Amino acid sequence: MAAGPENVPPFIAAQLSHLLSHFRLTLKVEQMWSGDKYNSGPFDRFSLLIPYCLDFIKWDVIFDAESPSAAPDVIFGPEDEDFHPFHMQPSPESNNNSLSDWNYKDPSRLLTLIQFLRDQYVLYQRKRVGEVDDDRLKFEISTILSREGIEMHMSSGGEKLEEVKFAVPLLDMNINKMVSCCPWRYSQKIYLQVVYPVGRKYTSAPSAPRLKLVSSPELKAAFSIDDVKLPPWLDGMCLAEYLPNLEEYLGKQVLEAVSLIEVRRHFIEALASPFGRPVEADPVFCRKATFLAASGVFTFLVHFLIPTQFPKQQPSIMLQSSQHFNSQMAPMKSRLISDYPWSPRWEPLLMAERICEFLGDEALNFKRQCSEGQVQQ
Amino acid sequence: MEDPPLQKIAISGPTLASLIQRFSTSPSAIHGLLFGHVTHLPLTLSDDSSSSAPTLLATVTGFLCSPSFYDSSGTVLPSALRPHSSLLGWFSARRRSPLRPSMREFSVTSSLSSLSQFSSPIDNSNPNLNNSNYREQPFLFPPCVFLLLASPPSDNAPSSHVHTHEYRAFQFRTGPQCFEPRSLDVVNIGPAFRGHYGAFSSNSRLPALDCGLRGSPMDEGSDERLSGMKQAAKDQRELDGCAEGFEIGRLSRMVGSDARSYTEGLEELYQKMLVKIQNLTSLVEKSSAMVLEQENHNRKLKHKILRSAAAE
């Protein structure tokens, strides 16, 4: 299937590109195709993946290449047969919806429509979860509903056990503002995913819900939530008790992670004294730096990969020859080295000097490996 | 009053075939109205306890592709529909899309079902119904049938000449506002329909032509009355034109004992019939050609819009 933008009629392309670049969440177009009999006409329908409750919902948006001035239609997922965004109680604020006065010349219409539909979807799922006959769940909802941005999802897939998922946004802090020269387009957030099994009415004590921390993927550059150990969920606990402790603990971790950026910056600056100015360095999160070094006539690059846990964890080093190439004409590289002498208590300058000392010997090893062609390719 | 539930929906084979043919030859999605009638199913001999099960059958006998009878938000425009006593609902046929009602299809069906002025009468004349039951039966059926036709979205091979058509029928329940799937029987297909020949009743009615000149011409004749009479006279002339050469007196001689001497007349009659049919077919052919020409013209206009949108 020829999936090129040249197959998309301009009146759809304009709406779609405006939607993708202005929506407050990262949308994905999974597939575009044609409603033509032989699938050879212009692409006028696509599947849109919309982030919801730490997962995606898939909606098919159906335009008609034969009627460019007509509003698009949307087909929701098979699980959401009861979702009727324009027929919900209480009915949406006004009938002045984005469909009734559709104007194909205004490229922001699709954005308005999808935004409205997603807002309605949040309410629809909230209503579904509210209708679940489970006392603990009803209590949990009543205590956390006031949290801004909370999303819930009710999954009932045939034989699967019914589950209710919550996505609770944590920490009322703007992480984007804490990082100087922040490159993130979207606001970075950490969520707690809470999954309650429902429908097991006859179990004596309600079991602990499944808990998982989820963050936006870009946050990994500064702070890895995989390193966070969740506090235990005690018997008979509820979310309203659990969340404040978690948030306090997590808040400290984030602050520390942000302060560690500066520690890494000092380290890179210290490296400059034995190695000279870096060829390349990550100026925002200070996770990477590359220096040019020479041992006799053998010149090579030294790549430093600095973990978020620095200085507790030592940086990984990789050498790359400027003079040896493999059969694909790619420069030869060493393995990742992270077993050299190290102490987190050293001053940055001492760290830099010890690494420089270690590399003096390692460079000779690497040079010999390069000429014998032993290194990984 | 809560609309009565259907047990199933039936469609005549030629109607379904014609609908699918219309869909597969159309360049894009089509939609339109469904016509037919609602009857009670013949009662089967079973326990009385099951008497609460729905016994209504909606039979689709015709359809009309309609360009637009609803606005872009899916609200039906009653002015675009002519009052018709046998409107059952509507259909939507779209290619390469899931076989689930879409957002707009829900809105249109909900809006159409709520228009009680388009309800059709339920034929309660089934002799199997006893009198007490008869009284409890509702008499009107809202246009709440929805027939969805689609082809699978994954059917991607551009060179494939196998076209898959899928369809599903629903009844829209105005109370809980939801679609309820109904089985769709194709009349005359399968062994279940053998019994139908015994209890045949014609599917379509004759057009209600107002031919009789009722009332005295001295009536307080309003303009409306006069134009009604003119229309009736015109209809009568048209009917007479169709029956030309087939006057009742002449036809009556074709049967009975003196029929033998009229073989020549009979042959002449067949000749005339053939000529008439030929005229009709050429008329249909010409009008189809004109329709096609108009459709192509409309497409060109649409593409012009498309290009003008591109230019902006």
What is the per-residue pLDDT across B229-258, written as a single tens digit (0 to 9) for each? 788 788 777 777 766 666 666 666 666 666
Statement to judge: residues B192 and B251 lie in one domain: no
Pairing of strands B30-40, B87-94: antiparallel
Strongest mean pLDDT among A8-22, A124-138, A179-193, B266-280: A8-22
Statement to judge: residues B81 and B143 lie in one domain: yes
What pLDDT score does B56 carry?
A: 86
Confidence of residue A177 (pLDDT cuts 50, 70, 90): confident
Statement to judge: residues B42 and B179 lie in one domain: yes
What pLDDT score does A2 carry?
A: 42
Q: Is residue B209 part of a domain?
A: no
Q: Is residue B208 part of a domain?
A: no
Statement to judge: residues B292 and B165 lie in one domain: no
Statement to judge: residues B176 and B304 lie in one domain: no
In angstroms, rounded to a whole number, what is the distance separating the alpha carbons of residues A71 and A49? 20
Q: Look at B174 and A204; give whichever has higher pLDDT.
A: B174
Q: C-alpha distances in angstroms, A88 versus A83, A116, A130, A374, B74?
A: 8, 12, 15, 68, 15
Statement to judge: residues B174 and B64 lie in one domain: yes
Statement to judge: residues B86 and B159 lie in one domain: yes
In angstroms, rounded to a whole number, what is the distance separating the alpha carbons of residues A246 and A233? 11
In angstroms, rounded to a whole number, what is the distance separating the alpha carbons of residues B158 and B301? 27
Statement to judge: residues B259 and B160 lie in one domain: no
Q: Which of B182, B197, B212 is the last residue of a domain?
A: B197
Q: Which of B197, B225, B259 is the last residue of a domain?
A: B197
Chain B contact set for A13 (CB, 8 A): none
Per-residue pLDDT tens over the stretch B117-135? 888 888 766 545 544 454 4
Confidence of residue B268 (pLDDT cuts 50, 70, 90): confident
Chain A residue whose CA is closest to B95: A35
Tell me the average pLDDT of chain A. 84
Domain count, chain B: 2
Chain A contact set for B178 (CB, 8 A): 82
Q: Is residue B57 part of a domain?
A: yes
Is-cis flag, bond preceding A311, omega within 30? Answer: yes
Given a cut of 80, whether residue B173 has pLDDT beyond it is: yes
**Mutation target vs A (from B25, B70, B72; most A CBs, 10 A cutoff):** B72
Q: Which of B166, B197, B228 is the last residue of a domain?
A: B197
Statement to judge: residues B191 and B261 lie in one domain: no
Our CA-based measurement puts residue A124 at a distance from the nearest CA of chain B, in whole angstroms, of 14
**Mutation target vs B (from A17, A39, A63, A106; most B CBs, 10 A cutoff):** A39
Confidence of residue B213 (pLDDT cuts 50, 70, 90): very low
Q: Is residue B224 part of a domain?
A: no
- 3-class state of residue B233 by DSSP: helix
Among B78, B69, B58, B68, CA closest to B15 = B58
- Report the 10 Å Cβ neighbour count for A240: 13
| Alpha helical stretches, state H, chain B | 13-25, 103-113, 131-136, 223-242, 248-253, 263-311
Q: Is residue B163 part of a domain?
A: yes
Rg of chain A, C-alpha, whole Å: 27
Q: Is residue B238 part of a domain?
A: no
Longest dimension (CA), chain B: 81
**ipTM of predicted assembly, 2 dp:** 0.78
Domain encompassing residue B249:
244-311
Our CA-based measurement puts residue B6 at a distance from the nearest CA of chain A, in whole angstroms, of 21
Q: C-alpha distances in angstroms, B291 versus A37, B288, B298?
A: 21, 5, 10
Statement to judge: residues B187 and B51 lie in one domain: yes
In this complex, is the C-beta atom of B306 within 8 Å of any C-beta atom belonging to chain A?
Answer: yes
Torsion of CA A89, A91, A92, A93, to 10 degrees: -130
Q: Is residue B214 part of a domain?
A: no
Q: Is residue B298 part of a domain?
A: yes
Given a cut of 90, whether residue B302 has pLDDT beyond it is: no
Say whether B100 and A76 touch across the interface (CB within 8 A): yes
Per-residue pLDDT tens over the stretch B61-96? 889 888 788 988 888 988 888 777 788 999 999 988
Statement to judge: residues B259 and B190 lie in one domain: no
Statement to judge: residues B11 and B96 lie in one domain: yes
Per-residue pLDDT tens over the stretch A310-329? 888 899 999 998 888 888 88
Our CA-based measurement puts residue B179 at a distance from the nearest CA of chain A, in whole angstroms, of 9
**Cβ distance A283 to A262 under 8 Å?**
no
What pLDDT score does B201 carry?
A: 56
In angstroms, rounded to a whole number, what is the distance separating the alpha carbons of residues A352 and A338? 14
What pLDDT score does A159 carry?
A: 61
